Amino acid sequence: MTTELHPATASAATAAVDAVVVGLVQGEDGPVLADGAADVAEAFDGRLPELLAAVGATGKADDVVKIPTAGAIAAPLLVAVGLGRPADGGIPGDRVRRASGAAARALAGSAHALSTLGALDLAAAGEGSVLGAYTFTEYRRSNGKAPLGRLYLDGDAAEIARAAAVAQAVVTTRDLVNTPPNDLYPATFAERAAALAADAGVEVEVLDEQALADGGYGGILGVGQGSTRPPRLVRLTWAGGDAPRAKVALVGKGITFDTGGISIKPAANMDHMTSDMGGAAAVVATTVLAAKLNLPVAVTATVPMAENMPSGASYRPGDVLRMYNGTTVEVLNTDAEGRLILADAIARAAEDSPDLLVEVSTLTGAQQVALGMRTAGVMGTDELRDRVAALGRQVGEDAWAMPLPDHLREGLDSRVADIANVTGNRWGGMLAAGIFLREFVPDGLEWAHIDIAGPSFHSGGPYGYTTKGGTGVPVRTLAALLQELADRP
């Protein structure tokens, strides 16, 4: 169940709902009501900040306090959520998104509520509420409290509908990432992607193992050959209407589970590798979103799917694979498998002559070492790389532009093939992976590689609008990029 967003038809003071959400800003002398709650403040005779402070409210970011309204307003419960200290220019959008998520999570079990946070940032309030309320309970015998059923926001109906669509795309991504790998493997992932696409009027093409062999997809086949569940390549195409303003290729890594293969991973936290298809989930959901929003941008997602398992049939360190574009790759580490399936997919996606290509993957542990668990590393051609990183920060999906130093290329020289899949040293692993992928991008094509190894999965407790498990990063970044292209004259 996903929280529904609807335009408000009554004021915050008079709405017949279970609860009303107001924002609090940290002031010098205590909490201060944020914009949007004037009628609620009036109903409490101006004493609301004083009452909230008396029960411990401070206005600190994401802090949630509930009080009964005792008939002062129509709703029986008031939820006050902190926004932190005001910044230059007001409250940043992601602060509104985080506060909305915290408030929505606190309202689990409620049928309907009204939020005044839309007065600060309507889209952020809508997205944050849906994402903060998210739960994944498909595999639980007892689901506990249902998430908030319906949230009313005061504002433009079209903007609220768009926020709901973007949030649903993130929810779809989270659901896919959170589905256990015994149920989500290449064939079933392909089926779910195809069903999502068909519902949105998106064209679907699925290549099975025989079609992959006939097509020369050596990277996808090599990585997937150790599993009893054969690989797939899924292509989703949204035509962008009669006059698309840009042609975009999206590529996403779809390793449905990664043991490391023969170069096996340590047992500790290997269960987190259920998220190794987070990039694929994100580009599938984004392509479907483009269709649902009817964006005048042609989008094709090329999604390689494989399970990296150790067996007597597995590919080995020392093997040489021939990629889709004819490049030969010496495998030095079977746990550097994502770049091998992506090489095939990038080469295939480039054949469509897109204006730009964006690839998303949970690619390297080195990303986590360099940037932590919440900041994606973005590489590629300078202009698009910087734009994608900036859009990520703008929508609250933290991202940082990283270089592709030419001197690291020599570390990928192979003894027997055109290139090796890893370098012989531990330094700059995130960058070396980006350099490897660059080998498969045609000259002159603008491209960006987003390494989401850390940001795609959250193993701790919930905060803001981020819940445990799949995060849905970077769907909102990709959506912002497509919207920007759609808004071009």
Please indicate, yes or no, whether residues 187 and 274 belong to a single structural domain of this protein.
yes
- The residue assigned the tokens 């946070």 is 117
Among 106, 133, 160, give the residue marking a domain's end. 133
Catalytic residue chosen out of the listed positions 105, 229, 247, 339: 339
Catalytic residue chosen out of the listed positions 60, 85, 150, 265: 265
CB 467 within 8 A of CB 132: yes
Among 133, 155, 177, give the residue marking a domain's end. 133
Please indicate, yes or no, whether residues 107 and 225 belong to a single structural domain of this protein.
no
Q: Which residues contact 274 (CB under 8 A, 6 or more apart)?
A: 177, 178, 179, 180, 181, 184, 257
Bridging pattern class, strands 30-33 and 19-27: antiparallel
Please indicate, yes or no, whether residues 345 and 228 belong to a single structural domain of this protein.
yes
Please indicate, yes or no, whether residues 298 and 172 belong to a single structural domain of this protein.
yes
Q: Which residues contact 203 (CB under 8 A, 6 or more apart)?
A: 197, 236, 237, 238, 239
Please indicate, yes or no, whether residues 89 and 190 belong to a single structural domain of this protein.
no
Cβ burial of 71 (10 Å; 0-12, 13-18, 19+) is: exposed
Please indicate, yes or no, whether residues 77 and 186 belong to a single structural domain of this protein.
no
292 is catalytic: no
Tell me the residue range of the domain where 191 lies. 168-486
Please indicate, yes or no, whether residues 227 and 102 belong to a single structural domain of this protein.
no
Among 133, 154, 183, give the residue marking a domain's end. 133
**What is the three-state SS of 225-282?**
CCCCCCCEEEEEEECCCCCCCCEEEEEECEEEEECCCCCCCCCCCHHHHHHCCHHHHH
396 domain residue, yes or no:
yes
CB 78 within 8 A of CB 20: yes
147 domain residue, yes or no:
no
97 is catalytic: no
152 domain residue, yes or no:
no
- What are the E-state strand segments in 260-324? 298-308, 320-322
394 domain residue, yes or no:
yes
Please indicate, yes or no, whether residues 409 and 289 belong to a single structural domain of this protein.
yes
370 domain residue, yes or no:
yes
208 domain residue, yes or no:
yes
Q: Name beta bridge partners: 321.
A: 329
334 domain residue, yes or no:
yes
Q: How many domains does the chain have?
A: 2
CATH number at residue 419: 3.40.630.10
What is the torsional sign of CA 66, 68, 72, 75?
positive
CB 121 within 8 A of CB 159: no
Tens-digit pLDDT profile for the chain (489 aa)?
A: 899 999 999 999 999 999 999 999 999 889 999 999 999 999 999 999 999 999 999 999 999 999 999 999 999 999 999 999 988 878 999 999 999 999 999 999 999 999 999 999 999 999 999 999 999 999 998 878 899 999 999 999 999 999 999 999 999 999 999 999 999 999 999 999 999 999 999 999 999 999 999 999 999 999 999 999 999 999 999 999 999 999 999 999 999 999 999 999 999 999 999 999 999 999 999 999 999 999 999 999 999 999 999 999 999 999 999 999 999 999 999 999 999 999 999 999 999 999 999 999 999 999 999 999 999 999 999 999 999 999 999 999 999 999 999 999 999 999 999 999 999 988 999 999 999 999 999 999 999 999 999 999 999 999 999 999 999 999 999 999 999 999 988
Please indicate, yes or no, whether residues 415 and 286 belong to a single structural domain of this protein.
yes
At 267 the pLDDT is: 96
CATH number at residue 59: 3.40.220.10
pTM, entire model: 0.97
Amino acid in position 169: A
Please indicate, yes or no, whether residues 223 and 279 belong to a single structural domain of this protein.
yes
Tokens of 477: 């970044």
At 269 the pLDDT is: 94
Please indicate, yes or no, whether residues 353 and 481 belong to a single structural domain of this protein.
yes
Select from 381, 384, 365, 344 the least CA-distant residue to 457: 365
Please indicate, yes or no, whether residues 114 and 41 belong to a single structural domain of this protein.
yes
Give whole-number Cα distances, 438 to 2, 380, 415, 443, in Å: 39, 8, 20, 9
364 domain residue, yes or no:
yes
